[in-house]
Structure 1
Amino acid sequence: MNEQDLKRAFQDVVVASSPPPAMDPGRALDAARKARSRRRSSITGAVVAVLVVGIGLGSAFALNPTGTTEAIMGAGPSSSSSSSGSSSSSSSTVQWPNGQTDRTATNGPQADRAKRLLVELKAVLPAGYEAPQLKYNDPSYQNLDMQRTQSQVMSNHGESPEVWQYWATTPVRKDGKVGWLNVEVSTPDPKLSTDPCALAKAFWGMGGPCQVYDVKGAKVGVVQSNPSGRDQFDKWATYLAPNGQLVTIAEDDKYLGGGYPELAGQVFTEQQLAELATDPRFRVGS
């Protein structure tokens, strides 16, 4: 079993398990998404994730979602963790860029890039649609925001090049009904495949039937349905830009966990998603 197999085993349990009371779905979704998309994480991190699943994933997320995320991502202990005991010296000396305490940048230029992606994502909506900041209706989602951004470093300390991933997600509303639109962009990584469909199928580990679309000579992998059994995106388009940045635009007629009526139809066609993925507005600055 390789690293990807281990991660997918973790993902399957995340989705199959019924959510425990008072869980933090925002953290759980972010943690699962990180684990899904990480072909660069260490083998140790993946093994730890599976072990966490084996001893009770639901309880881990419910009782300590931050700690679970740190175990998956290989982050060092938080400032509230005990400094005594036999904790690994390697985990306690992890160095993150820009003075961060973990992989995620919550402010500064890296965080600003994800916020800019959200602005651009909202700007491309067709007439009649809006992208409001909504709250989850389901009480178990603790009234969290449905519109979010995140910036995180995906490479490990000392690796070159340093790879960053930026993510923005928003509800999309029309006539009181709500769908989901998402953009994810990563900086160049020489380890990535150059095959459009291989890249598209790797998005969140969901796979699916893929077709290559031509957008003025650019090749875009478009997955038109989600066979994974996970109630997430219906379709998405993935494009490896000439500058090496990887862009994925995804949509769904409903927003998972939002509790709102789903949209009567799709926001974008597959061709339109492919065109959006190639749009320079979704490239991040250096």
Structure 2
Amino acid sequence: MNENDLREAMRASMTLAPPPPMESAAALTAGRRAVRRRAALAGAGATAAMIAVTAVAVPQGLRLASDGESTPWAGGGVPSAMPTPSAGGENTKPAWPLDGDGKPQEDATARSGERYEQGKKLLEEVLAVVPDGWSTPTGESKDGIPLRDHQAQVEGDNSGSTWSYLAYTAVAKGGRAGQMLAEVHTGNNGLPTEPCALARQFWGLKGDCDVVTVGKAKVGVSRVPSGTGGVEQWAAYRHPDGIVVYVAQSRTATNGENVQPPLKTLPLTASQLAALATDDRFHLN
């Protein structure tokens, strides 16, 4: 099993359902998002990962938030060399935005610079909102999947005008472990405005949705049945400037049985999850 297999295995363990069919003309963006979730079609684990990575090339190792070393990350799954037709009909590699070293990124993932730091900040904020009395384990699962990590990646047409950030951490209490995560999409993301439509876009999970009011904000909070081993509840909020925030939680951590037994209850209530989705700490551009 290589680092790309592990990345997709991690995504599989956090996803419950396959994504909806692609309906948008923005094929490149939809394709990237679909690959991230592809492993869910076959369930969690390395078998699902192998199915996912045979479909398309994925980027090399990502940076682990805790020590900056190269490690696999769950949210990648982005083609590292997706060809685009040239005027002469030949396929050419996409032109990625500049990384922190002033050179073009190897793929859609930022490994240094401003965008990388935003992903790192998102992880810091997720850790900061873990409820009192809960711990946040570090290290890796027995399968080598990090228990906490982050990523920033370019979306859309590769111009760098739209980005997404994702960060997650295992949370533990009483000898059991689950997970909390946040995903942020910068402006011009094309995501829905209506709260529940927005919530149902998250990883294609859909679920039953209620609109929760937080001050003047309307937040979509969705949930899928428990016991299926992935993300169970999440809140979605679109800021007036178009930035979208998802905050999610699950009763299992990365390949849960390899960390600790799953939680009996989720760390946050629906109201707390909705409030976090509107919190300025996650309002990252």
Shorter-chain TM-score above 0.5: yes
Which is helix-richer, 1 or 2? 1
1:264 match:
264
Alignment of 1:111-190 (within 5 A): 111-137=116-142, 141=143, 143-158=144-159, 162-189=161-188
Give the fraction of aligned pairs with identical amino acids, expressed as a percent.
31
- Kindly provide the CA deviation profile for residues 9-55 of structure 1, in whole angstroms up to 9, marking residues without a partner as x: xxxxxxxxxxx99982324445998x959864339958x97xx99xx
Q: 1:123 to 1:190 in 2, by over 3 A?
A: closer
User: Aligned equivalents of 2:47 and 2:130: distance in 1?
Assistant: 39
User: Aligned equivalents of 1:29 and 1:256: distance in 2?
Assistant: 6
2:252 match:
254
Give ranges in structure 2 of 5+ residues lacking alignment: 60-76, 84-88, 99-103
* TM-score for the superposition, normalised by structure 2: 0.72
**Of 256-265 and 21-30, the range deviating more from structure 2:** 21-30
Given that 1:213 and 1:274 are in contact with CA atoms closer than 8 Å, whether structure 2 keeps it comes out as yes
Please report how far the alpha carbon of residue 186 of structure 1 lies from its aligned counterpart in structure 2 after TM superposition. 0.4
SS across alignment from 1:42? helix
User: Aligned equivalents of 2:237 and 2:52: distance in 1?
Assistant: 36
Please report how far the alpha carbon of residue 105 of structure 1 lies from its aligned counterpart in structure 2 after TM superposition. 0.7
Q: Which has the higher contact order (CA 8 A, sep 6+)?
A: 2
User: Aligned equivalents of 1:104 and 1:226: distance in 2?
Assistant: 32
Please report how far the alpha carbon of residue 264 of structure 1 lies from its aligned counterpart in structure 2 after TM superposition. 3.0
> Aligned pair count?
243
Amino acid in structure 2 at the alignment position of 1:145: P
1:201 match:
200
Given that 1:41 and 1:154 are in contact with CA atoms closer than 8 Å, whether structure 2 keeps it comes out as no
User: Aligned equivalents of 1:184 and 1:274: distance in 2?
Assistant: 14
User: Aligned equivalents of 1:70 and 1:180: distance in 2?
Assistant: 25
Given that 2:199 and 2:236 are in contact with CA atoms closer than 8 Å, whether structure 1 keeps it comes out as yes
Please report how far the alpha carbon of residue 179 of structure 1 lies from its aligned counterpart in structure 2 after TM superposition. 0.6
**Of 128-137 and 212-221, the range deviating more from structure 2:** 128-137
2:50 match:
62
Give ranges in structure 1 of 5+ residues lacking alignment: 1-19, 79-87
Q: 1:262 to 1:224 in 2, by over 3 A?
A: same
Please report how far the alpha carbon of residue 110 of structure 1 lies from its aligned counterpart in structure 2 after TM superposition. 0.5
1:25 match:
6
Among 230, 233, 236, the alignment partner of 2:234 is 236
Larger Rg, first or second structure (1 or 2): 1
User: Aligned equivalents of 2:4 and 2:58: distance in 1?
Assistant: 17
* TM-score for the superposition, normalised by structure 1: 0.72
- Kindly provide the CA deviation profile for residues 100-141 of structure 1, in whole angstroms up to 9, marking residues without a partner as x: 01111111110111111111111111111121213213xxx2
